[in-house]
Amino acid sequence: MILDLHTHITGPRQVEHVRAHIRAHGGERSVVLPIEPGECSAVGDNPNWRTQCTIDAYERYKDEIIPFCHVNPFAPDALEQIRRYYAMGIFRGFGEHKIKIACDHPLSMQIYRLCGELDWPVLMHFDYQDFHNYNVEAFGAVLEACPHTRFIGHAQSWWANISAIVVRDPADPNFEEYPQEPVARGGLIDHWLEEYANLYADLSARSGYVALSRDPEFGMDFLRRHRSKLMWASDCPCLDGKGDMGGGRRRDCLAALSLPLLRQYCESDDHFDDLTYRNAERFLGL
């Protein structure tokens, strides 16, 4: 029954790999997130991440692929593109929004507001200085300015701010991309998840895994307190759910790390099921 809220088709990683990955962990459904190329895009000019690739995957496996769409905010017809995607009737949300601009940039703000009108969630990648949506500390004001838009937070800077003590400047000698020390209570995202009804988070990537595992007592409490706001996801680049990175390379499968951790931390089977598929089903209207 497991549903992966965060996967990508990248060119080397095709829809067959997405399917193999989730099936290796006992599930069948995956959200596929495109990132459009162009100005300030995380993928540069690489066309393999386009929304069209997500459409093609959905057309082949409609029962297994849950498509999101994306547009580059610098496209002169960005809002018109979103409206055209909405008219297609197949997409469940917008993102991954992974652009090298501030999270409250006016071009992004107009996209957030339109997605709120369309009842589409926006999945955000937060990184550090001069990278993707780099000023996560400003996101509280975005949540207040867009109360009708549901946001899903994700990535390094997002999960570092699970703690009230965080070094945000990569030039600081104490900076850690994936902080390891115990969590200081009162972090931004912990506070925001409590305060803002329109904010959710996915537990994907190494950043999500480290955020929970760095302080087990806090991690278990965090999963309990935000049980209805959190959704499991992998954002894993491996091809088979077992660590095959292609070309003879191997590394840990992020799903193989995070799912046993959730099983250990959750209070019950119902809690685990909420995090691994029920919350996503409700959130996406499946």
Q: For tokens 């599930």, what's the residue?
A: 27
The tens digit of pLDDT for each residue in 187-214 reads 999 999 999 999 999 999 999 999 999 9
pLDDT for position 1: 87
**Quick one: CATH architecture of 3-284?**
Alpha-Beta Barrel (3.20)
Dist. CA 214–CA 151, nearest whole Å: 25
Q: What pTM was computed for the model? A: 0.97
Dist. CA 91–CA 246, nearest whole Å: 30
> H or E segment at 250?
strand 249-250
Peptide bond into 16 cis (omega under 30): no
pLDDT for position 129: 84
pLDDT for position 206: 97
212 within 8 A of 187, measured Cβ to Cβ = no
Looking at the DSSP bridge assignments, the partners of residue 201 are 153, 230
Q: How many of the other CB atoms lie within 10 Å of CB of 285?
A: 7
Question: What is residue 32's DSSP assignment?
Answer: E
pLDDT for position 181: 95
Q: Tell me the average pLDDT of the chain.
A: 97
Q: How far is CA 2 from CA 126, 244, 285, in A?
A: 25, 21, 16
For the chain, domain boundaries: 3-284
Q: How many of the other CB atoms lie within 10 Å of CB of 60?
A: 12
pLDDT for position 88: 98
> H or E segment at 186?
none
String of DSSP letters for 103-117:
TT-HHHHHHHHHHHH
Q: For tokens 């691994």, what's the residue?
A: 276
- Give me the helix-helix angle, 106-118 and 78-88, nearest 10°: 20
Dist. CA 281–CA 286, nearest whole Å: 5
At 130, is the pLDDT very low, low, confident or very high (cuts 50, 70, 90)?
A: confident
Triad 56, 59, 62: Cα angle to 5°: 130
Looking at the DSSP bridge assignments, the partners of residue 151 are 122, 199
231 within 8 A of 7, measured Cβ to Cβ = no
What's the rounded mean pLDDT across residues 268-278?
A: 98
Q: Tokens for 8?
A: 């990508």
Give percent above pLDDT 90 in the chain: 96
pLDDT for position 185: 97
Longest pairwise C-alpha distance within the chain: 49
The tens digit of pLDDT for each residue in 59-93 reads 999 999 999 999 999 999 999 999 999 999 999 99
Q: For tokens 């990278």, what's the residue?
A: 131
pLDDT for position 269: 98
pLDDT for position 255: 98
Q: How many of the other CB atoms lie within 10 Å of CB of 136?
A: 27
